[in-house]
Amino acid sequence: ASWAGHSKLRDLRIVLLGKNEEENIRVQKLISGRITLESEQEERNISVINSHLLQPNLSLHHITRAVRECVDLSQPGPHVFILVLQHNDISEEDRFRVTTVLKEFSDQAMKHTIVMTTDKPSYASKLSSVVINTTVHQLIKQCGGRHLQFSPETEKFRSEIFKRVEKILKGNTEEYLRCKISEEEEKKKSKLNLVLCGRETTLHVSNLIRGGKKKPSMSQESRSKVCLSREVELHGRLINVVELPSLSQLSDEEVMRETFHCVSLCDPGVHVFLLIVPSEPLTDEDKKEIEEIEKRFQSKEHFMVVVTDDTVDGNSANSYAENQELNSLYGGRYKVLGLKKDKKSKQIPDLLEYIENMKTEPYSLQMFVRAQEMRGRRETEKKYEEKLKKSAEGEAEDLKCLRIVLIGRTGNGKSATGNTILGHQGFKTLAASDSVTSVCEKGVGEVDGGSVAVVDTPGLFDTTLTNEQVIDELVKCVSLSSPGPHVFIIVLSVSRFTREESDTIDLIKKIFGSKAAQFTIVLFTRGDDLQGESIEDYVKRSNSAELKKLIRDCGNRFLVFNNRETHDRSQVTRLINMIEEMKTIKQGQYFTNSMFEEAEMSIKKRMEEILKEKEREIQTQREELTDKYEMEKENMMKRLEEEKRRADEERMNMISKFNKQKETLRKEFEEKEKTEQQKRDLEKQKQIEEEKHQRAEHLQKIEEMKRETEHQRSLYEQQQREREEEDRKREEKYRQDQEKMKHEQEQIITQLQKRQEEEIRKRESEEQKRREEEEREREEWRRRIKEAENERKETQDEIERQEREWEEDKKRQMREREEDERKRREKHEEQLREKQEELEKMRQKIEKEREDERRQRDEEREKLRQEREEKEREYEEKKNEMMKRYEQQERERTEMWERKQRDDDEKREDERKRWEKRIDDIKREQEEMMEKRETQERKRKEREEEEQEKRKEEHEQRIKEMKKKHEDEARKQAEELNEFKKKNDHFNKLKKHLEELKDQHKLLEEFYKLLNDENVDIEKLKKKVEELKNEWRCVIL
């Protein structure tokens, strides 16, 4: 975590963390107010944030949200955290929760935390803290040892708190803590999210924006199919550049995944989508890509166009942009980028400044989801419009098609009939008792050159489907035969006709309305069972009044099929002709949805009126049933409460009885334990006194032996001191002799060296004289040679020869002297070595004598030491023997005591086990009785709940049945009323028609009289005829 500088606000912000709300409030009241810190002059206002972050029922999500609220309240950041804890109410889980909460604030929060305990540790806690660190101690250690114990002395304790706070502020370089959440929000606010989209050059633009920085590249194929996000700090702003792959090259699933991924990579949202287009004219692929991008994101205000060019400044792109009027695209938001890198170019800073000035709300994930919902809705609407268009086109085609709906009982051969009509296996057929067709199916074929559509429906009165499911499927057949069926064919079997099937027409009327009967034909299957008898004769000789009524309700339209003779198309032709005749009578009209809806609406409307009329009756019955149910429920609840009360009383009496027994046993056991403990204490006291007496005797003996040993040791030490004094004197005498001998040796050697030095000085003096003499002679020879230079050559040569002889003689003398000197030196060295050897022999002799004397003294000392050790060993042996005897006595006494103690413990353990067994027996008996009671209570509750549930179901069933009964009655009455209205309307029409006929008859008679009258004006007569025609809508020939 980072740390903020000193705030200008002079608030001291303290966050309280604790489990106990009352203790938190007590601490809050104590530290609230104003304070002047010692290191500051001005007052500080104390802001205390009392959080509830340590409650055990909080999830991590709730903790994060609460931390965010706490950070908002302590803006710009808290100074100190105070952990308000209780020794007796904290666990390892609580410590983990404290650590988690503080880390949610910041990784450095522990450095700003003080632990405050409001209670004192119990004895058990103190005892455990000696052995291991308690949870509180571990937290104090984690917080740098900062701990305060709450004190009732208010002012003094308050002062101590702020001293600790000031110490924390001084110990950290910055004043307050900047929390993680604040950092993340500032980071989110400061980051600019850019999405590059387009068919090409997005990578070049991305590198250009990021200053030419490249990461390890992916393959072109993988780059083109995945979203890439790269962050770079540019011009003091964190830029998140997301490269969107070309959408036109991806599948729908990949497009959805990558667009969602693209937006999710930008938190809190996309600031702008940069649509990259080339400076050249847009290709079809470019236009397709732009359309796909617009369709996916549905937000033009978040887009701007970036025109790319290979030049640095993009002049050619500028001219192209003006020519193509790119200003009109996306509100005139566009920029031109040259792709060649130029360090002096300001095009990227200008682009970023332009984006900053747009100041649009970030395009978030929620906006993206809403865009997808709108896109899905538009696509659905488009598909629906296309479907409607196709439906309208298909409807025009379906007007020429003959549409048939097959209805009938399971096993009557509807599917086989459909196959016979179509002339091919359009529907699945099986010999089975259950319906083969469970949903409406449509088959299309051609009969006698005309198009035929057959809709097969589930079997009526089917055992595998409910009546409601069958009715729902039957309703669907109208839409499958859109715009409406020409005929409903009721399929019956010749071999059987049940009472249920006689209600088929009523069912059709009930579902589709009364007009549906006008479009119905009865078709019998299994025509081969008639054995040559015609279907008309079969119907005539039938004794079933229901069958004849059914045929009569269907307008006496019926025929027979033999589905085994599928090649016999004449039976299909007869059916088609019958349908065509019906169409002719109906003037080409077919059963439409409007008829169905009209009938249904009429019935429903009348049902509502009838139900409204009976609403008071229904409400009264419902209230009676509800009152009855509530009364039964209340009685049952009272009974349950009474039984529960009795059970609780019995349980409490039982528990009280068991507790009394347990308390009696416990008192007996404690009394007995107290008596035994007193007895053990007396025996222990007696044993302690006996041990004390024996230990005193043993210590006295040990002390006597110790005194004797000390006396022996003092005698030995005195002898040792005397011998050491004698040895010291002997050593001193030896040292003096050594010093004397060494001095004598040094004098002898010194005298010898002096003599040698004198001889050397003498020789050196003689040598010096000789060298001077030689030098004088050498000078003489030089002079003589110089004088002889003017003389004859023979004289000069003679002189030089004499000089050489002189030189050689001198060299010879020199060698002889050097040889003498060497011999003399060797002689001196030999004398000195002989003298030193003599002295060494003398020293060795003295050393040997001294060594013999020392060895003799060591032998005497060793002898004395052995004597002393022998005495000490005897003392130790005596002491050890005494200790062994004492330890043996102690061991025997301890064993006896332990044996006695063990026996007592065993007796107590046996007694305790007997007591525990009695307690366990009581507990077991109590638990068994409780379990038995609970079992009985549970069974009783289950039984009562079952009865209550049963009563509830019966009540609901009665309400449902009553409602269904009233609805059925209302529907039946509505249908009967509709039927009556239709019959009444038909009767009124017939009556009106009869009156019109009568009027026409009178008119004709009058007209006839006028014609017979010869004096009638013809023009007047014609005028009268026209008036009559207009008045009565008559046709007069």
DSSP for 674-715?
Answer: HHHHHHHHHHHHHHHHHHHHHHHHHHHHHHHHHHHHHHHHHH
- Kindly give the pairing relationship between strand 303-309 and strand 272-278: parallel
Task: For 273, list phi and psi in degrees, rounded to 5.
Answer: -95, 120
208 & 309 share domain: yes
In a domain? residue 59: yes
In a domain? residue 425: yes
Residue 245 structure tokens: 């792959």
Final residue in a domain of this structure, among 183, 206, 226: 183
Q: Can you give the length of the chain in residues? A: 1037
- List the beta bridge partners of residue 309: 338
Summarize pLDDT for 370-424 with one digit per residue, the tens.
888 888 878 877 776 776 666 555 544 455 678 888 888 877 888 888 888 888 8
Q: For residue 391, what are the contacts with CB-CB under 8 A and spacing of at least 6?
A: 482
Checking if the pLDDT of 71 tops 80, the result is yes
108 & 233 share domain: no
In a domain? residue 240: yes
Start-to-end CA span in the chain (Å): 111
355 & 486 share domain: no
Q: 789 pLDDT band (50/70/90 cuts)?
A: low
Task: For 16, list phi and psi in degrees, rounded to 5.
Answer: -95, 130
Residue 305 structure tokens: 């166009």
431 & 561 share domain: yes
Q: What is the mean pLDDT of residues 530-547?
A: 84
Q: What is the mean pLDDT of residues 314-339?
A: 61
The residue range of the domain holding 409 is 401-443+456-508+517-525+532-591
Final residue in a domain of this structure, among 576, 591, 606: 591
The number of distinct structural domains making up the chain is 3
**DSSP-derived 3-state class of residue 74:** coil
351 & 215 share domain: yes
Q: How far apart are CA 117 and CA 147, in angstroms?
A: 8
Q: 592 pLDDT band (50/70/90 cuts)?
A: low
Lowest mean pLDDT among 326-330, 347-351, 445-449, 893-897: 326-330
312 & 410 share domain: no
359 & 418 share domain: no
Summarize pLDDT for 727-738 with one digit per residue, the tens.
788 778 878 877
In a domain? residue 103: yes
In a domain? residue 841: no
In a domain? residue 133: yes
> Quick check: pTM over 0.75?
no
How many CA atoms, within 13 angstroms, populate the side-chain half-sphere of residue 405?
30
Closest of 197, 445, 204 to residue 309, by C-alpha: 204
Checking if the pLDDT of 552 tops 60, the result is yes
- The pLDDT of residue 11 is 73
* Structure letter (DSSP) for residue 191: -
- The pLDDT of residue 610 is 60
Lowest mean pLDDT among 20-24, 355-359, 415-419, 1032-1036: 1032-1036
199 & 179 share domain: no
Structural contact between residues 258 and 211, judged by C-beta atoms closer than 8 angstroms: no
- 817, with CB counted inside 10 A (0-12, 13-18, 19+), is middle
152 & 179 share domain: yes
**DSSP-derived 3-state class of residue 142:** helix
499 & 428 share domain: yes
Final residue in a domain of this structure, among 154, 183, 212: 183
46 & 153 share domain: yes
Residue 80: alpha-carbon gap to chain centroid: 30
Q: Domain containing 496 — which CATH number?
A: 3.40.50.300
Q: What is the mean pLDDT of residues 962-987?
A: 68
Q: 70 pLDDT band (50/70/90 cuts)?
A: confident
Q: What is the mean pLDDT of residues 440-463?
A: 79
267: left (phi over 0), alpha (psi -120 to 50) or beta: beta
In a domain? residue 825: no
**Residue 502 parent element (H or E):** helix 499-502
Query: Which amino acid, 342?
Result: D
Closest of 465, 550, 545, 541 to residue 507, by C-alpha: 550
In a domain? residue 1018: no
93 & 240 share domain: no
- The pLDDT of residue 396 is 46
